[in-house]
A and B are shown apart, each in its own frame.
Chain A
């Protein structure tokens, strides 16, 4: 529409304004046409042409005549142009799908898109009459239906709402039950609409199981309040730091560090920390070579596990003819720990008799030499003994100590090697040393996490569900590499199967070349509940950046499930997957392997606010507890009375309206019956609560047609912005009857959006609206897109960007046009790199400005959207076009007619998708829809399958340049730089664009389209009913009220909640 007609139109609109309020006028039609309708409808009324909407299947006569004259030529049984067959289309408005087709027919005619100019001589007046007639019929039919049933139909809670409700009710924020419930039906992608939320025995059974599971969790705690503890877990004492079943050879990527000095003794192959290390100088050791012997002991070196040059063995006869006596001169009298060394093994003496002569006399000990000695696999402590008399002369006088051993009755080979005397004060020093050395020691990780490989501390398991503080000490390091030439049969130790190429040198990581890191390394910390790492049981706790210069301690607050462990993802490090070889991984980081050295994990907790926990109190109030196995039971004084009180409180919270006496009675009688049958109080209450949680009052939103009462408003509001039942404040306002007050509603909307639960709304709405829950359905092809393989950080950051951006649109009441474009976005380091934004370092998200020529900014070109609209290999302008039309512009195209074959993508490099589509569009039946679908799809061709800007396609077959290398997951790849991307197109209105920047400008010429779409999407979500033809006026009213804020997103949400569409059933 040009500017002139705008002015004329608005002038005329005011003249006929009185009509538009009660007339069925499609707001998408230009104001100019409204004027015509105004006259026409008067004309029609006077002629008695306005008929009642019919429920029969015959198309009303006048309409039928019109369609016959102008539409049936193409849209008949034979041709069904564009997949539309009007000839056989029933006039059955009860069927929502058929109604949608009629609405579409209306919209196309009204927008003068149909009939096509060249095929019809339809005059303005006749067009007006026809669409007015059609609009009136649909409108009246729907309004009649609304009056009878309401816009929305009773709906049950969906599985995510069900989970949230139980979480809120039971103060159990990490409860997981949604996965146990069947998938929900959706309308427009939203699991919020009653007609699709069917229910069968499967759900009912799942509800009973889920409720019982959740209720019993509330009893899983000890009667006695657990003490606050703080424990430190040293990385070096972990036997391994990865999880999941995998090749133990992965340990090679980890190594131990002492400070920055490498010591191979501490590698994982040694399994753990060696506390005796470095303390030997102060102990007194006597080897068998200095001992007195009887019998012909044989010298042996068969086992390398001995002290000195050799050890001694007897003849395995047990006769007592072999003896040995070690004498030591101790520097001073005192208590010493006596240790003996032997080698261990199944043929060794089961009863080796040792004799210790000490200050208090003699002690005989029989030692089982088959065991492996406990200290360094070498020393076995016999005990602590005092040597020399304190009362006898000076304390510094040397003392002689004697230990002897014979083979009498030994039952196996007796081994005699060395004895050791460790002074007790020295032992204490030794422990201190051990601490000091543990403090300095660390274990470094050189790869990012990848299912099923997570690194982490496994010695800590949360003793009980609750709040904890987690501290980690870490720094970043760099491990250098040497190039090793492999010759002949010599092969890398860890890769016996590797076929060597004599022409190549293989870089090999060298463990004694460890340096300070060059940069800080981001680490994401998770709590992992189940031993299975790849089953979604990972919950992020926090992130930190390990600094390069010296280790630092980072503290995070965490909520742990019972048994939860701490897992780590060094986000920026490559995640080489089996069977990646070190020489390929090396190419990812040619400067050396960056890694993160972890010193220790410290966990403090549980921090308990109340005991028994809030979960218990929510169900059993102040009823005393008693231990019963691993959980508690409730032991009331007056079971019946307390059952009644607890049940009443529970039902009031769970039902979203006052509980009728009869409703209460029914459940109360059940509890009573169970108690009278001898059931325990706890079991009776669990059964009764389960019944309440399976009752339709709890599960369904329903009510009378017409205005919602306060309770229904509270319910709708709370499920809209909190995905759960009303909180206390909302319940109170409903009880006081204040929720019909506009200002109160406004305050409540603001309050709910700011609550932490507001995040739930953002997540669930975006998952459904933008299909973000499908983001992991495909993975980028490793040959074509090696830089993305296994890059969780990137995918998670994409989702986070969309959530932060949308939350900010609402928080800042930013205009709806920001859905299409903006000069800012939210990014962390990974996403900024993806978008080519310089200067963003670290994993923390921040608002970043985008330069004017950036294709990014706006949901339309967010990487998350561009990924869910592509598969991992190719982008399709058709899929992206349909998505944009349906999700962002509110004009969903019809599905393709079944007879037309789909376009088959080709990545061999010879043809582009545009060329393939061109052929497709030559088919007349495709052209009319593709005229609208393709332009947005073409404009987005500038982005690859992960949403990164590209000038050229990549191909596997032909191309101007061959690219090879190693991908992030260690895979070697080859691909080619293919044809140049052409992102130009022409809009259906005939406006040409060169690229996505110009396309965005064209879209923003009509901001209202963007605002109307998001309003309608939110309306479906909020009210649980599709936006019907008859709702268009109210949608327009919402838009009018939001116009002053430039269609601010928070304003739109406020106006939706204030709208009759929201406040009526």
Chain B
């Protein structure tokens, strides 16, 4: 799989047929679009090996950051960030991008995730409004306006098919028929519910209204999908990845998914991606050299045992190396005004500050690329955390979304621009 990826990279930018870049070639004044990808690695990192001990631009790299030191000027590492009111340990994964408080509570309701706010703004410009991806876990980072989870694509091969495999004319017609049929079914459904909402109580009506909104929203998406279906998909030299079936092939999966993410952004198939790296449900990992380590989740509950800690470190080193590889790959793609990383904000982190004790403060967060002023460790108060959403506001503004708030934000981050 490693070979495939390298082979592709040599060819990248030369033989890849990119509708967007073609159109850019024609006008050549338009800047490359801004993109965003948010990655959550749901066991996070051993704090003392992740966070740098010093702050500012001259900060000294931590052991984990050493792994991505070649990108030092392209990322900012944060400390002292969290979502106010978000607790519940593992369960906070669903609020990593939404910041909805108290995910463990009985009355919990989720809210819209960062990526979906962006997708609402720029999603209509690409074949996929956004992509929600996951590895080894069914859970997703993306939530709709109503707080409903958007299911993930779970295989790099499936994603490849969706993005690049062009059916023949018959297949395309069949798909268009299917979309039209769905649309006509929704017409019937909608007419029905408008009648229903007349004979229910007020609070019930709200629920029915939410349903109607959902139906309308789907109709709009079907219309968009029809328009895209008629256009050819981009072609790439990269072969369809042979996505492993064994859940222990976690790193191979991450690498393939990263490749697909880069291709998705590069071909402008989408501008918004979330990727959930399900470490918790990864039974063990196989390293590049074929060695395996079992019980990833168990290792995170290391109980300060040295052997467990060293194994966990080994896995987390590999996680960081993969992340570095991803950044390198983004950098290697040239665009009209710099490289793909310059135009892509890469958020990487976890909803738990320390998985060993399931806490949800002092989150490990890295923001790379996207044209920010990077190369620094922005350290905030570890006792009284700054809302992570302040970073999100800066990201939204960077995407061109005109807003000065998101969820629990108290402003944007000044050190970034």
Chain A residues with CB under 8 Å of chain B are: 96-97, 100, 148-150, 153-156, 179, 182-183, 185-189, 194-196, 198-206, 208, 245, 452, 532, 534, 578-579, 662-663, 666-667, 670, 674, 687-688, 690-691, 694-697, 699-700, 702-705, 777-782, 871-874, 892, 895-896, 898-899, 901-908, 956-957, 1026, 1065
Are A149 and B203 in contact, with the CB atoms below 8 A? yes
Are A245 and B146 in contact, with the CB atoms below 8 A? no
**Contact with A670, one of B88, B138, B139, B188 (Cβ below 8 angstroms):** B188
Residue B223, interface by CB 8 Å: no
Are B207 and A154 in contact, with the CB atoms below 8 A? yes
Are B218 and A696 in contact, with the CB atoms below 8 A? no
A999 to B: closest C-beta gap in Å: 26
Residue B2, interface by CB 8 Å: no
Are A695 and B192 in contact, with the CB atoms below 8 A? yes
- In the complex with contacts A97-B107, A183-B139, A700-B207, A532-B245 CB distance below 8 A: yes
Complex CA–CA separation, A205 to B185 (angstroms): 11
**Contact with B246, one of A196, A202, A245 (Cβ below 8 angstroms):** A245
- Contacts of B106 on A, CB cut-off 8 Å? 100, 186-189, 892, 1026
Count residues of chain B with CB under 8 A from any CB of chain A: 75
Residue B148, interface by CB 8 Å: yes
A1030 to B: closest C-beta gap in Å: 16
B222 to A: closest C-beta gap in Å: 8
Are A895 and B304 in contact, with the CB atoms below 8 A? no
Are A153 and B207 in contact, with the CB atoms below 8 A? yes
Encoded as 1 (CB less than 8 Å from any A CB) or 0, chain B from 148 to 172 comes to: 1111000000000000000000000
Within residues 199 to 218 of chain B, which ones have a CB less than 8 A from any CB in chain A?
199-204, 206-208, 210-211, 214-215, 217-218
Residue B110, interface by CB 8 Å: yes
| Chain A to chain B contacts (Cβ below 8 Å), 18 pairs | A182-B150, A183-B139, A202-B148, A208-B185, A208-B186, A579-B292, A670-B184, A691-B188, A694-B185, A694-B189, A695-B189, A696-B189, A696-B211, A871-B301, A872-B295, A872-B298, A896-B87, A901-B357
**Contact with B304, one of A149, A579, A697, A906 (Cβ below 8 angstroms):** A906
Residue B297, interface by CB 8 Å: yes
Complex CA–CA separation, A129 to B292 (angstroms): 66
- In the complex with contacts A183-B138, A956-B305, A153-B357 CB distance below 8 A: no
B362 to A: closest C-beta gap in Å: 10
**Contact with A182, one of B149, B210, B302, B357 (Cβ below 8 angstroms):** B149
Complex CA–CA separation, A700 to B189 (angstroms): 13
Residue of A nearest to B221 (CB): A201
- Contacts of A781 on B, CB cut-off 8 Å? 295, 298
B29 to A: closest C-beta gap in Å: 36
- In the complex with contacts A185-B109, A956-B305, A895-B149 CB distance below 8 A: no
- Contacts of A579 on B, CB cut-off 8 Å? 292
Complex CA–CA separation, A871 to B358 (angstroms): 11
Residue B125, interface by CB 8 Å: no
Are A155 and B188 in contact, with the CB atoms below 8 A? no
Residue of B nearest to A910 (CB): B304
**Contact with B211, one of A452, A663, A699, A896 (Cβ below 8 angstroms):** A699
Complex CA–CA separation, A476 to B227 (angstroms): 63
Residue of A nearest to B85 (CB): A898
A408 to B: closest C-beta gap in Å: 50
Are A202 and B195 in contact, with the CB atoms below 8 A? no
- Contacts of B214 on A, CB cut-off 8 Å? 199-201, 203-204
Are A902 and B107 in contact, with the CB atoms below 8 A? no
Complex CA–CA separation, A670 to B138 (angstroms): 36
Residue B28, interface by CB 8 Å: no
Taking A205-B221, A666-B191, A873-B303 as given, write out 6 further A-B residue pairs in contact, using a Cβ cutoff of 8 Å, ordered by the A residue number: A153-B204, A199-B211, A696-B211, A704-B200, A779-B297, A908-B304
Complex CA–CA separation, A185 to B100 (angstroms): 13
Are B211 and A202 in contact, with the CB atoms below 8 A? no
Complex CA–CA separation, A687 to B184 (angstroms): 9
- Contacts of A905 on B, CB cut-off 8 Å? 301, 303, 356-357
**The 6 nearest A-B residue pairs measured at CB:** A907-B303, A154-B204, A200-B148, A201-B218, A200-B144, A149-B203
B140 to A: closest C-beta gap in Å: 8
Residue B359, interface by CB 8 Å: yes
B133 to A: closest C-beta gap in Å: 15
- Contacts of A908 on B, CB cut-off 8 Å? 303-305
Residue B361, interface by CB 8 Å: yes
**Contact with A687, one of B104, B107, B181, B246 (Cβ below 8 angstroms):** B181
Residue B14, interface by CB 8 Å: no
Are A696 and B305 in contact, with the CB atoms below 8 A? no
Encoded as 1 (CB less than 8 Å from any A CB) or 0, chain B from 83 to 106 comes to: 001011000000000000010111
Residue B393, interface by CB 8 Å: no
Complex CA–CA separation, A203 to B212 (angstroms): 12
Are A702 and B200 in contact, with the CB atoms below 8 A? yes
Are A245 and B245 in contact, with the CB atoms below 8 A? yes
- Contacts of B104 on A, CB cut-off 8 Å? 895
A-B interface pairs (CB < 8 A), number: 227
- Contacts of A155 on B, CB cut-off 8 Å? 207
Encoded as 1 (CB less than 8 Å from any A CB) or 0, chain B from 107 to 149 comes to: 1111000000000000000000000000000110000111111
- In the complex with contacts A195-B109, A198-B148, A895-B104, A901-B359 CB distance below 8 A: yes
Complex CA–CA separation, A935 to B399 (angstroms): 52
Looking at chain A's contact residues, the main secondary structure is loop
Are B201 and A667 in contact, with the CB atoms below 8 A? no
Encoded as 1 (CB less than 8 Å from any A CB) or 0, chain B from 208 to 246 comes to: 101100110110010000000000000000000000011
**Contact with A778, one of B88, B182, B298, B358 (Cβ below 8 angstroms):** B298
Residue B294, interface by CB 8 Å: yes
Residue B10, interface by CB 8 Å: no
Are B188 and A702 in contact, with the CB atoms below 8 A? no
Residue B283, interface by CB 8 Å: yes
A843 to B: closest C-beta gap in Å: 25
Are B147 and A185 in contact, with the CB atoms below 8 A? yes
Are B307 and A700 in contact, with the CB atoms below 8 A? no
- Contacts of A153 on B, CB cut-off 8 Å? 203-204, 206-207
Residue of A nearest to B307 (CB): A956
Residue of B nearest to A183 (CB): B149
Residue B260, interface by CB 8 Å: no
Complex CA–CA separation, A1026 to B108 (angstroms): 13
Residue B67, interface by CB 8 Å: no
A690 to B: closest C-beta gap in Å: 6
Residue B5, interface by CB 8 Å: no
Residue B193, interface by CB 8 Å: yes
- Contacts of A208 on B, CB cut-off 8 Å? 182, 185-186
A4 to B: closest C-beta gap in Å: 39
- In the complex with contacts A149-B204, A534-B247, A871-B298 CB distance below 8 A: yes
- Contacts of A205 on B, CB cut-off 8 Å? 182, 218, 221
**Contact with A148, one of B147, B184, B202, B354 (Cβ below 8 angstroms):** B202
- Contacts of A100 on B, CB cut-off 8 Å? 106-107
B64 to A: closest C-beta gap in Å: 20
A891 to B: closest C-beta gap in Å: 13
Are A198 and B107 in contact, with the CB atoms below 8 A? no
Complex CA–CA separation, A203 to B301 (angstroms): 36
Are A907 and B181 in contact, with the CB atoms below 8 A? no
Residue B196, interface by CB 8 Å: yes
Are A156 and B211 in contact, with the CB atoms below 8 A? yes
Complex CA–CA separation, A150 to B191 (angstroms): 26
- Contacts of B301 on A, CB cut-off 8 Å? 871-874, 905
Residue B414, interface by CB 8 Å: no
Are A705 and B201 in contact, with the CB atoms below 8 A? yes
Complex CA–CA separation, A1027 to B181 (angstroms): 43
Residue of A nearest to B187 (CB): A670
Which of B85, B139, B193 has most chain A Cβ within 10 Å?
A: B193
- Contacts of A695 on B, CB cut-off 8 Å? 188-189, 192-193
- Contacts of B102 on A, CB cut-off 8 Å? 97, 895
B354 to A: closest C-beta gap in Å: 8
Residue of A nearest to B291 (CB): A579
Complex CA–CA separation, A206 to B151 (angstroms): 10
- Contacts of A777 on B, CB cut-off 8 Å? 280-281, 297
B245 to A: closest C-beta gap in Å: 6
